[in-house]
Amino acid sequence: MAYQDGTATLRTPRTALPLEIAASYRARTRGLLGRDGIEGAMLLTPAAGVHTFRMRFPIDVAYLDRRLRVIALTTMAPGRLGLPRPRARHVLEAEAGAMAGWGLRVGATVAVEGLDRP
């Protein structure tokens, strides 16, 4: 599925939560920069890697394949460059510690529901 910038609901193994989708170059470049936190998560698409330069808080990062299955998870402190994952097509970002509470682990699948476009 080709995504556009907007909002949706992210369904994880344990919960449903607000999701911001950053699909345009401009939205992906801005990402979570300049924020003090995020309620829910942000999906960067297409994306295979991220950085946390100029970020104000640590984040959990889930690398997702085409089917929105988690292929890798990591927590990144501000000022870091994450290694790109060749099989990743999307990257999910959230505040550090959030993804464990959502039941995300390698092999889990998430779903994007109710996409609202601006």
Task: Show the tokens assigned to 109.
Answer: 């699948």
- What angle (nearest 5°) sits at the alpha carbon of residue 111, between those of residues 27 and 1? 60
Sort strands 6-11 and 59-64 into parallel, antiparallel or unpaired: unpaired
pTM listed for this prediction: 0.94
pLDDT at 94: 98
Cα 104 from Cα 79, distance rounded (Å): 24
The region, left, alpha or beta by phi > 0 then psi within -120 to 50, assigned to residue 36 is alpha
Nearest to 73 by CA among 82, 81, 63: 63
pLDDT tens, per residue, the chain with 118 residues: 689 999 999 999 999 999 999 999 999 999 999 899 999 999 999 999 999 999 999 999 999 999 999 999 999 999 999 999 999 999 999 999 999 999 999 999 999 998 766 5
Cα 118 from Cα 115, distance rounded (Å): 10
pLDDT at 114: 87
pLDDT at 118: 56
- The DSSP letter of residue 11 is E
pLDDT at 117: 60
Task: Show the tokens assigned to 5.
Answer: 């910038």
